[in-house]
Amino acid sequence: MKVGFVQFKPQFGKVRENLQRGIELMKSVDADLMVFPELAFTGYLFEDRTELEALAEPIPHGYTFRTIQEAARETGTAIVYGAPEEVKGAVFNSAVAVLPDGGFFIYRKAHLFDREKLLFKPGDTGFFVFEFRGVKMGMIVCYDWAFPEATRSLALLGAQIVLHPANLVLPYAQRAMRIRSIENRIFTITANRIGTEERAGLKLTFTGWSQVTAPNGEALIEAERDTEAVMAVEIDPEEALNKKFTELTDIFDDRRPELYTAIVKERA
């Protein structure tokens, strides 16, 4: 299975242009599965809720979803992207996986970062796994990286690949996702954006370095910090079914959930 990412710089609010550019970039590489960043086609720094609501779209009826669905059909590529999703007046920071046959899955970001808490509704989908071409995969969004429980949940549900659209501004997640790969023996795909947004009295620079990581923690491909990149790599997802470090050392069999009760309680 050939998997990869599109790392690019959307222009704030220019959804149609960003979609056109993003899809054009994606088509330059042949792959089974491509991941775009979080909020890939709207930009990130919304001034306020009114501006966010104006750019949010329902799924599957919105323009962005229909355009991506058409691109997935045309290219035979499963496409994962981040978008503000409008649901009955609320807006979720969602990741959408669209399969070439038109089927789709929506994950709504569980852990909202900083100002996102003032704009979005916390995700209500939880962590789930779906199958594409016989491979199990699941989604997290950006700051979800800081919660090993999120990726662990997906891995325990059988995910061989964790898909991670991101708008990262801190320099930690790319390193952390390599560790998520090792401790769960899975592949991960982090698609981050580049560029600087200066809006709402704030200035954010995104950290690029999109990557695909393997179960041994190695980055199989890695983009630069501040240049556009469309990259893909052939992986063998079956590798992620083997949870053994040694014959007698299986990272899942060796778990002691009865000792982890603090994890599922509120902070003391």
Q: Which residues bind ligand ACM (CB under 6 A)?
A: 38, 113, 142-143, 167-169
142 given a catalytic annotation: yes
91 vs 88: CA distance, rounded Å: 8
Catalytic residue among 38, 85, 86, 116: 38
Place of tokens 């947004």: 197
Whether the CB-CB separation of 221 and 231 falls below 8 Å is answered with: yes
Would you list the DSSP string of 140-185? --GGGGG-HHHHHHHHHTT-SEEEEE----SS-HHHHHHHHHHHHT
Among candidates 40, 237, 229, which has minimal Cα distance to 137?
A: 237
Q: 148: cis peptide before it, omega within 30°?
A: no
The pair of three-digit structure tokens given for residue 177, joined into one six-digit string: 């996702």
Nearer Cβ to ligand ACM, position 1 or 95?
95
Closest approach, Cβ 155 to ligand ACM, in A, equals 21
Nearer Cβ to ligand ACM, position 65 or 120?
120
Nearer Cβ to ligand ACM, position 113 or 209?
113
Catalytic residue among 85, 86, 109, 197: 109
Closest approach, Cβ 53 to ligand ACM, in A, equals 19
109 given a catalytic annotation: yes
Closest approach, Cβ 170 to ligand ACM, in A, equals 7
Closest approach, Cβ 146 to ligand ACM, in A, equals 9
17 given a catalytic annotation: no
| Active site positions, annotated | 38, 109, 142
